[in-house]
Amino acid sequence: MKKLLAYLLTPIFLLVWGLLLGTFQLVQVIAHRGFGIRAHRRSVDLMNLLMIRALWILGVRSSARFYEALPLDRAIIVVANHQNKFDIPGLGWYLRRHAPKFVSKIELGRGIPSISYNLRHSGAALIDRSDARQALTEIGRLGTLIERTHTAAVIFPEGTRSPTGELQSFATAGVKILLKRAPGAVVVPVYIHNTWKLNRYGWFPMSFGERISWTVLPMIEPQGKLPDQVVALAQASIRHEWLAQTAAA
């Protein structure tokens, strides 16, 4: 029955998703050009919320859990596992108070309605993975920005999405640069659960009736620790939560 519903409802979801992307391309342009950065942020917050709510069409329910309140008076470096494109609107919505800016591959900065515009105008780090110098320079710029504005940078140290939800090894270079350029930042691990299942069959049909979640784990204070230790602690925290939620499923 779930597979049948998936076949019937996936076209409706994809239509709604496409309409949201097209509509918010225009909304973002008007907000950014007409009313400034703050209005643009609010338009992106609304877009992220509607993108998550659109998953209701597929019977998908999402939730977030915070182990503790995050500070508003210092920069935040969010270190998260990565399973699906849908990870990003969830992080954008649930962390909206901290104006999250993503480390993203440069290809996403063009050609995708709404997504590309937001990446280009939000302060995100658009990195060329074939050019290490450009990538590290861009991540460093983002670190300086979040330190100055007390906002959040989001980085996926696995480097790519995990199609099965299995955790992959964490690279350290990007986090090291962020820590160097944002010395006042706190590191926040986030475990993203089950978003990979949304596309377990590919884009058609999408899966029906999944339960997905974002768990914001206890903060890691970098002061007095080497960058490698901080990354290892973040990875261990995410792995512990992954094991706990997998065992409970």
Label residue 18 by pLDDT band (50, 70, 90).
very high
Q: What's the pLDDT tens digit per position in 60-105?
A: 999 999 999 999 999 999 999 999 999 999 999 999 999 999 999 9
Mean pLDDT over residues 231-248, rounded?
94
Predicted local confidence at residue 76, as pLDDT:
98
> Under a CB-based contact definition with an 8 Å cutoff, are residues 9 and 212 in contact?
no
pLDDT greater than 90 at residue 155:
yes
Locate 156 and state its tokens. Answer: 């996926």
Q: Which amino acid makes up residue 179? A: L
User: pTM to 2 decimals?
Assistant: 0.95
Residue 217 in contact with residue 190, Cβ under 8 Å? yes
Total domain count, the chain:
1
User: 169 lies in which domain range?
Assistant: 2-248
pLDDT of 174 reads 96
82 close to 156: Cβ distance less than 8 angstroms: yes
CATH number for 73 = 3.40.1130
Tokens 């280009």 locate to 120
